Amino acid sequence: MSVQVLYDQLIELRLPTFLEALREQQANPQYTELAFEDRLALLTDHECSRRHENRIQRNIKSAVFPMQAAFEDIDFSPARSLDRRTILELGQCNWITSRHNILVLGPTGSGKSFIASAFGNVAARHGFTVRYQRTSRLLHALTLARADGSFTALLRSLAKTNLLIIDDWMRNPITLANAQDILEALDDRFGHTATLIASQVPVSDWHLRIPDPTLADAILDRLVHNAQRIELKGESQRKLI
């Protein structure tokens, strides 16, 4: 088999990084000192590493975060009352594997969206699929899906997402239809996936903002009872920019 035929076959097999690493080995005589198995292991490792990184980048891109927020850049200033140990433990993403929730709470401008995006970013880097949604846009998407017949498909897509981030939770009033739609989405996810809620509204006020008490009970049951709470304090981060 000629070298070019080998190259063509690697391209056909969609092994571009393997091919790139092979060419590097062929150009460097030091690799000839290695056993065949060692050279093959290096080539395979290059391909797997690149695929892993590409998968991470796809996860981050599809999440549609509102900002670039690295977990390492979370501000642990004393005024914010963040427990460093708790946050770092949550950054290991075991809560996602355990299918638990996180509630990020705090006043306007306290950095909730940054924290939520940082958790989403680190989750994507751990290999989880993530979707970031503002409440108003999620509800709008659910309403449109009901109207055009794609509601079940949207619910199925949400249910498959390892981590759903819902920002600006309960900031604006919701309708009875909104409450029914959000409960449908949470029902499919409950016990199977993890949800992160970011809200400036205290949890104690959520029930009153949902128009039907029975729906309110059901929605809060699926979000609150197994959730870790992160409460942000301090001056608005926007004033500090």
Same domain, 32 and 118: no
Q: Distance of alpha carbon 173 from its chain centroid, rounded?
A: 26
Residue 144 pLDDT > 90, yes or no? yes
pLDDT digits (tens, 9 = 90+) for 148-166: 999 999 999 999 999 999 9
Which of 23, 39, 62 is the endpoint of a domain?
62
Query: Are residues 196 and 94 part of one domain?
Result: yes
Same domain, 97 and 87: yes
Looking at 28, 44, 62, which one is the last position of a domain?
A: 62
* pLDDT, tens digit, 9 for 90 and up, residues 57-104: 888 888 889 998 999 999 988 888 899 999 999 999 999 999 999 999
224 vs 205: CA distance, rounded Å: 13
The helix-helix angle for 16-27 and 3-12 (nearest 10°) equals: 150
**Domain shared by 81 and 52, yes or no:** no
- Confidence at residue 130, expressed as pLDDT on a 0 to 100 scale: 97
What's the number of domains the chain is made of? 2
pLDDT digits (tens, 9 = 90+) for 97-127: 999 999 999 999 889 999 999 999 999 999 9
